[in-house]
């Protein structure tokens, strides 16, 4: 299986991009401390170097895929093929968020660039030729018994919007890494298939789903943004590591036992670690990589690792 795991808590704000890295040991994993990510171009170079010396799985907490109702209209065979062309030729405006309804198109599907009176979801469904806003949700983003509905990729308003982070990550990391030979899960195969070859595999994660694994869910009176509440999860994090043959580096132990520090970026470092927990659980087979038999996940929509 994989020799290295990397999890990135990504953001439009470079100050909030934090990562963790785990290395396979003979009897488990060693996780190093969370650290601030380098620039996207440097990060891509670093991934290539690691991939030349082993098998590495990299997780990002932004969508990697598009809703199938949109994808089938593009004329491409699948999402990886489309992403290689996005930003080029007829698709040169893809990474520019539309300002007005008249600018929305298949080639420019993200909207709106800024909050402006009169901007509606209907603008987006009309511009993209779908019947309902629900058509712009990927299967893995829809409401389930385990969680609420996510935000549609192309709608870029609201505190839970993910579109701008996805655009930043696709343009700065995913697309350049693919052009350098990186593969995408689940589009290019299962984890078992992808882990048999040296190189880099990129996947989508959702750190908040990992909290339950180490009994770290934040209660109603708690907040991930508060150092004291993050610190309250330290005992359960240590129990999870001890139970599952996971070693924590001394510097990571210091971060955990300090609630990942007093700064606002502490919540990003916390999520960088939490996402790593879920990746280890999946790679070790304690969680299924993909629990829902949805064919479009391998063509257009992708999936959240371990959902």
Instruction: For residue 12, tell me if it sits in a domain.
Output: yes
Instruction: For residue 143, tell me if it sits in a domain.
Output: yes
Q: What is the pLDDT of residues 260-287, one digit of tens each?
A: 999 999 999 999 999 999 999 999 999 9
Residue 57's pLDDT band (boundaries 50, 70, 90)?
Answer: very high
Closest of 173, 181, 180 to residue 40, by C-alpha: 173
Q: Cis link prior to 267 (omega < 30° from 0)?
A: no
Residue 146's pLDDT band (boundaries 50, 70, 90)?
Answer: low
DSSP, collapsed to helix, strand or coil, labels residue 203 as strand
152 — phi, psi (to 5°)? -65, 135
d(CA 99, CA 97): 7
**Does residue 179 share a domain with residue 100?**
no
Mean pLDDT in residue range 56-75: 97
Structurally, the chain folds into a number of domains equal to: 2
**Does residue 182 share a domain with residue 250?**
yes
64: pLDDT strictly greater than 70? yes
**Does residue 150 share a domain with residue 100?**
yes
**Does residue 267 share a domain with residue 241?**
yes
pLDDT given at position 145:
60
**Does residue 237 share a domain with residue 147?**
no
**Does residue 259 share a domain with residue 185?**
yes
**Does residue 279 share a domain with residue 183?**
yes
Instruction: For residue 118, tell me if it sits in a domain.
Output: yes
Instruction: For residue 240, tell me if it sits in a domain.
Output: yes
Last residue of a domain, one of 128, 162, 196: 162
Last residue of a domain, one of 162, 186, 207: 162
Q: Look at phi and psi of residue 12 and say left if phi exceeds 0, alpha if psi is from -120 to 50, else beta.
A: alpha
Mean pLDDT in residue range 34-51: 93
pLDDT given at position 117:
82
**Does residue 101 share a domain with residue 227?**
no
- Mode of pairing for the β-strands spanning 199-204 and 183-184: parallel
**Does residue 188 share a domain with residue 151?**
no
Host domain of residue 150 = 70-76+88-162
- Please tell me the pTM assigned to this model: 0.95
**Does residue 247 share a domain with residue 179?**
yes
**Does residue 146 share a domain with residue 93?**
yes
Question: Would you list the DSSP string of 120-157?
Answer: -HHHHHHHHT-SSGGGGS-GGGS-BTTB-----TTB--
Q: Which residue has the higher pLDDT, 293 or 191?
A: 191
Mean pLDDT in residue range 233-245: 97
Instruction: For residue 277, tell me if it sits in a domain.
Output: yes
pLDDT given at position 118:
78
Instruction: For residue 103, tell me if it sits in a domain.
Output: yes
Mean pLDDT in residue range 146-162: 82
pLDDT given at position 144:
65
Say if residues 21 and 32 touch (Cβ distance below 8 Å): yes
Q: What is the pLDDT of residues 97-139, one digit of tens each?
A: 999 999 999 999 999 998 888 799 999 999 999 999 999 999 9
281 CB-near residues (< 8 Å, 6+ apart): 210, 213, 244, 287, 306
**Does residue 114 share a domain with residue 194?**
no
């Amino acid at each position: 299986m994989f020799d290295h795991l990397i999890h990135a808590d990504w953001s439009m704000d470079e100050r909030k991009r934090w990562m963790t890295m785990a290395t396979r040991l003979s009897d488990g994993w060693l996780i190093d401390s969370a650290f601030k990510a380098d620039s996207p171009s440097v990060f891509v170079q670093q991934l290539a170097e690691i991939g030349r010396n082993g098998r590495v799985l990299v997780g990002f907490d932004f969508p990697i895929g598009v809703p199938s109702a949109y994808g089938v209209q593009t004329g491409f065979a699948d999402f990886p093929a489309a992403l290689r062309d996005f930003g080029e030729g007829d698709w040169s405006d893809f990474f520019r968020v539309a300002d007005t309804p008249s600018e929305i198109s298949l080639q420019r599907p993200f909207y709106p660039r800024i909050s402006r009176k009169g901007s509606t979801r209907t603008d987006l469904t009309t511009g993209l030729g779908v019947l309902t806003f629900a058509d712009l949700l990927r299967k893995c983003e829809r409401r389930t018994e385990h969680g609420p509905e996510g935000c549609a990729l192309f709608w870029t308003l609201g505190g839970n919007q993910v579109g701008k982070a996805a655009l930043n990550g696709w343009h700065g990391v995913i697309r350049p890494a693919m052009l350098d030979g990186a593969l995408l899960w689940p589009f290019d195969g299962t984890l078992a298939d992808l882990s048999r070859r040296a190189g880099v595999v990129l996947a989508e994660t959702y750190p908040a789903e990992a909290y339950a694994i180490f009994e770290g869910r934040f209660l109603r009176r708690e907040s991930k943004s508060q150092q004291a509440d993050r610190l309250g999860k330290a005992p359960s994090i240590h129990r999870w590591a001890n139970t599952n043959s996971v070693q924590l580096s001394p510097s990571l132990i210091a971060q955990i036992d300090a609630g990942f520090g007093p700064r606002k970026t502490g919540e990003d470092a916390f999520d960088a670690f939490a996402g790593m927990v879920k990746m280890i659980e999946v790679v070790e087979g304690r969680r299924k990589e993909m629990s829902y038999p949805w064919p479009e996940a391998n063509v257009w929509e992708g999936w959240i690792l371990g959902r």
